[in-house]
Amino acid sequence: MGSKKLKAIAVRGKAKIPMAEPDKFREFARGAMEEVKTGFITQMFHDTGTSGWIDGAIDYGDMPTKYYTIASMPEATNISGVTQAEKYQVGNTACFGCPIGCRKVLHIKEGPYKTEKPTEGPEYETCAALGPMLMIADMGAVNHFNKMVNGYGFDSISGGASVGFAYYLYEKGVITSKDTGGLELKWGDIDVTLKLIDLMGRNEGFGRILQEGTKRMATRYNRPGEDMQVKGLEFPMHDPRAFCCMGLVYATGNRGADHNKSGGYMVENGMGNPDLGLNPGDRFGDDKAPMVALSQDWQSLTDALGICHLALMSTQSIVDMINASTGWGVDQDAILKAGERIFQLMRATTCKFGVTPKDDELPEIALRPIVESGQEGNVPNMAKMLPEYYQIRDWNKTTGKPSKARMETLGMGALAGSFGIK
């Protein structure tokens, strides 16, 4: 959209959306809502939000710290969801009709970053990217960073990763204060981080380099393999050395390193889908290809249906609501096939625009073990998992494209030619 100078797409309609069996749909929807309301996960996220994971992330070595060079920062408990609930939280906000209310309203009453009135606080990803990633564990500062990036309108994950990469390069002597416009980049420096966020938002000075992202920064400063990104998208705040399945998720993601297109780390934490066989296993195991493919298909489907990743309900409830609303008469296998159809279509499109198997790789820095940590020195075994995944997906080893036979199985054989699939 940006390359086309397109600012927005507005859609308006007044017609009623027909529904096959509206009474049944409402009945099934009420049942699904009750499942969500009574779930343990709902209570947890209601009480502590997504930032409630911070304490667990410290133990597991899951939260990227000091730009992925150490596995944890114990002081990060100062910005955890539990600490927020105890010291700063004054309310919750939620998406329309949602019983979870995972977003937190915080009031920072003391310190240099105190707020005059309550404001919506940062999610887990923002807390980690603009906190331990930069060796910062000050709740007032992280909350202020969150307001800044939201105000400027850029992503806190990629933004925080870009700042973190700059600190990393500065520490190694790759860049100096001459490159940064006089700023000395020292880990944990809140004031400098404020200035960098401001420069990024204004696209000024060193901020013009940061806002291009870590892939371009690595090219500019000749540091290949040290930029934590796949296909140009920065890693989210779940280290693939803590949950090795995420290495495969990031490598095969259609838009790059994306934790929102597979809940692999959630599966390993017991938040999977027993109906589908998405159950916890050894988080360091290298048998993750089937689980990753299945979770990607499932999440493609739930994304298309508009179902929140945190709203856990039975698969049967979803099937019942689809059938009551559409009259299609589908079953679990049919909706999973629809999920795979979505994922494979995105893959074919991605390959059409230039992605090949060489893009399905993790950067070298992601494969450096950190022994004394919750990661226990483990790294994703990509040499085993990736070929197994390609076989499950039926992707060509040279082009990376789905096979024509697979496209036909999914009812998309007529589209194969338009993607160069023979």
Cβ–Cβ < 8 Å for 241, 378: yes
**DSSP tag of 364:** G
Token readout for 162 is 């870009």
> How far is it, in rounded angstroms, from Cα 181 to Cα 184?
9
Q: What is the mean pLDDT of the chain?
A: 96
> How far is it, in rounded angstroms, from Cα 56 to Cα 53?
5
Checking if the pLDDT of 329 tops 90, the result is yes
The answer to whether residue 109 is domain-embedded is no
- pLDDT tens-digit readout, 49-98: 999 999 999 999 999 999 999 988 999 999 999 999 999 999 999 999 89
What is the pLDDT at residue 148? 97
Do the strands 229-230 and 119-120 form a parallel or antiparallel pair, or are they unpaired? Answer: unpaired
Checking if the pLDDT of 2 tops 80, the result is no
What is the pLDDT at residue 272? 86
What is the pLDDT at residue 270? 87
Number of domains in the chain: 1
> How far is it, in rounded angstroms, from Cα 260 to Cα 398?
27
Least Cα distance to 31 among 316, 239, 290 occurs for: 316
Token readout for 77 is 């408990």
What is the pLDDT at residue 343? 98
Least Cα distance to 164 among 227, 122, 120, 106 occurs for: 227
Mean pLDDT, to the nearest integer, of 339-357?
A: 97
Cβ–Cβ < 8 Å for 85, 102: no
pTM of the predicted model, to two decimals?
Answer: 0.95
The answer to whether residue 55 is domain-embedded is no
What is the pLDDT at residue 71? 82
The answer to whether residue 218 is domain-embedded is no
**3-state SS string for 68-90:** CCECCCHHHHHHCHHHHHHHHEE
**DSSP tag of 153:** T
What is the pLDDT at residue 115? 95
pLDDT band at 384 (very low <50, low <70, confident <90, very high): very high
Report the number of secondary-structure helices (H) and strands (E) in the chain.
Answer: 17, 5
The answer to whether residue 400 is domain-embedded is yes
- Work out the end-to-end distance of the chain between its first and last CA atoms, rounded to an integer number of angstroms: 31
Sequence-distant (6+) residues with CB within 8 A of 248 are 264, 288, 289, 292, 380, 382, 385, 386, 389
> How far is it, in rounded angstroms, from Cα 338 to Cα 343?
9
Residue type, 229: Q
Token readout for 6 is 């397109």
The answer to whether residue 64 is domain-embedded is no
Which residue reads 């992707």 in tokens?
395
Burial class (CB in 10 A: 0-12, 13-18, 19+), 190: middle
Phi-psi region of 287 (alpha: psi -120 to 50; beta: other; left: phi over 0): alpha
Q: How many CA atoms lie within 13 A of 315 on its CB side?
A: 17
- Other beta carbons less than 10 A from residue 305's beta carbon: 14
> How far is it, in rounded angstroms, from Cα 42 to Cα 311?
7
Burial class (CB in 10 A: 0-12, 13-18, 19+), 1: exposed
Sequence-distant (6+) residues with CB within 8 A of 383 are none
- Other beta carbons less than 10 A from residue 175's beta carbon: 21
CATH of the domain at 286: 1.10.599.10
Cβ–Cβ < 8 Å for 211, 152: no
Range of the domain at 322: 239-422
What is the pLDDT at residue 310? 93
What is the pLDDT at residue 159? 97
Mean pLDDT, to the nearest integer, of 317-327?
A: 98
What is the pLDDT at residue 372? 81
The answer to whether residue 193 is domain-embedded is no
Residue type, 191: D
Percent of the chain with pLDDT over 90: 94
The answer to whether residue 128 is domain-embedded is no
What is the pLDDT at residue 216? 98
- pLDDT tens-digit readout, 362-381: 999 999 999 988 999 999 99
Mean pLDDT, to the nearest integer, of 125-145?
A: 98
